[in-house]
Structure formats: C-alpha cells, structure tokens
Amino acid sequence: MHIMEGFLPHPWWEIWFALSLPVVAYGVYRMNLIIKERRDTLPLLAVSGAFIFVLSSLKMPSVTGSCSHPTGTGMGAILFGPWITSVLSMIVLIYQALFLAHGGLTTLGANTFSMGIAGPLVGYLVYKASMKSGLNLYIAVFLAAMLADCATYLVTALQLALAFPAAFGGVLTSFKAFLAIFAITQVPLAVVEGAITALMFKYFIQLRGDVLVKLNVASAKVIEKLREASL
C-alpha cells in the first residue's frame, strides 16, 4: 500500500496531508491522555505499535506470484480506536520512508490516510458492529483485522486512481487497473493477518482481560465467558 516517493503529483499529496494531519494530531492528544491517565493500558499500546512494526515488515508471497505485506493495524484499532492507531501507523511509515526507501515523505500523508486512518476506521466499525450483533469475539477480531487490511489497499488504489485518471474511462478505469494489482494478492494476506490478530486477543484475554474491559473492548461478562471456555 506504500505509494512511492514522488509518485503523487500536486495537488494530491497536499490533499492527503491535509486530511491526515488533523487526525494524527488529535490522535497524539488522545494518546497523551492515555499515557497520563490509563497507565495500566500502556503495555497494550506498546504491543499494538509493535504489532504494526512486525506485520508491515513481512512481505509475503501471495497467490498471484507477487508479494505484499499485511498492515497490522486492526489490533490497535480494536483496542485504542482509529485516532491513536493513526499515530502508531505514521511512526512505522516514517521509519520505512527514511530507512527503507519504502513509501516516502511526500506520500506520507496519503499512506498514513490509507494505512493509519481508513483501515483502522473500517476495522473499528466492523468490530463494534460484530460485537453488537452478538458474534464471538475472536470472529469479530478476525473480521475487523482482515477488513482493515483490505480497506487500506482499496483506499491506496483509489488514491492512485484519483491522481492518475485514465485518458479513456477516467478514475474508474484506473481504479480497476490499480485494484487488479492489490485485490487478489491482498486477500490471502488479510486472512492470515485476521487469524493471527485473533490469536493475540486470546492471550490478551487470558492475561489481562481486565484491561480489555477498561478499554471497552468487551464487557466483563463476555471476557469471563471466553476465559472459562479457553478456546
């Protein structure tokens, strides 16, 4: 999902910065509140950031004969919401832009939007909706992380299509062309990411179910039930 350095022309790189920066700024504010007032949640905050670090460094081969990487943002989105996850994602994207020539500083706004905002927002909403409809927590986590991953790549394709509309057929034609690269490649990776994220939540529940209750991830009753079942 990394749009490479210099590959977004004016005015698009500015537009995505303008959309991303306020979200990240508010995310920093929310993160500071948590650091000050909810110190018992800090280990999970660190793990959420670290999870993005690990997963976005793994370039995995997929069915199409090309490689792509998961995003790892679903976990942070479920635990801390999209605001804070946007900050965590931006940190990873800056590391990759500076040291790996992966993504870029001019495209940081667009990449933060797709990976740090759009994906986590979708993941957060999917998780909340799934829990409301009474789905099993692990299935809810799986769906949220998987769809957050897919949404990120959808948005990347859209960003590229908006910047490079086809001469014939415009944005829609180029959207299809960009989506063709990502769509099939990404789905198996998203499934793996969803499964691993769900497994991580099993350990969170076993070890610190009380913090998940405090973060409003699930009710104490749901956590207790899952602990007893210890799937």
Residue 190 in the binding site for other proteins (CB under 8 A): no
- Judged by CB under 8 A, the residue of 35, 105, 129, 220 near other proteins is 105
Q: Is 91 in the site for other proteins (CB under 8 A)?
A: no
- Rg, Å, the chain Cα set: 18
Under the criterion CB under 8 A, does residue 26 sit at the interface with other proteins?
no
Q: Which of 28, 125, 162, 166 binds other proteins (CB under 8 A)?
A: 166
| Interaction of residue 9 with other proteins, rule CB under 8 A | yes
State the number of binding residues for other proteins (CB under 8 A): 70
172 contacts other proteins (rule: CB under 8 A): no
Rounded Cα distance between 91 and 84, Å, is 11
Out of 41, 121, 174, 217, the only residue in the binding site for other proteins (CB under 8 A) is 174
Among 25, 33, 35, 67, the residue binding other proteins under the rule CB under 8 A is: 67
For other proteins, the closer CB: 2 or 83: 2
Instruction: Indicate if the alpha-carbon torsion angle 223, 227, 229, 231 is positive or negative.
Output: positive
CA distance 59 to 123: 21
Secondary structure letter of residue 39 according to DSSP: G
Determine if 50 is a binding residue for other proteins (CB under 8 A): yes
Neighbouring residues of 140: CB distance < 8 A, sequence distance ≥ 6: 126, 127, 130, 131
- Measured CA to CA, the distance from residue 110 to residue 17 in angstroms comes to 6
User: According to the binding rule CB under 8 A, does residue 113 interact with other proteins?
Assistant: no
Per CB under 8 A, which region of 16-24, 80-88, 99-107, 112-120 contacts other proteins? 99-107
The nearest distance, CB 50 to other proteins, in angstroms, is: 4
Minimum CB distance to other proteins, residue 160 (Å): 6
Tell me which long-range contacts 181-184 makes (C-beta under 8 A, separation of at least 24). Answer: 181/66, 181/157, 182/1, 182/68, 182/153, 182/154, 182/156, 182/157, 183/153, 183/157, 184/62, 184/63, 184/64
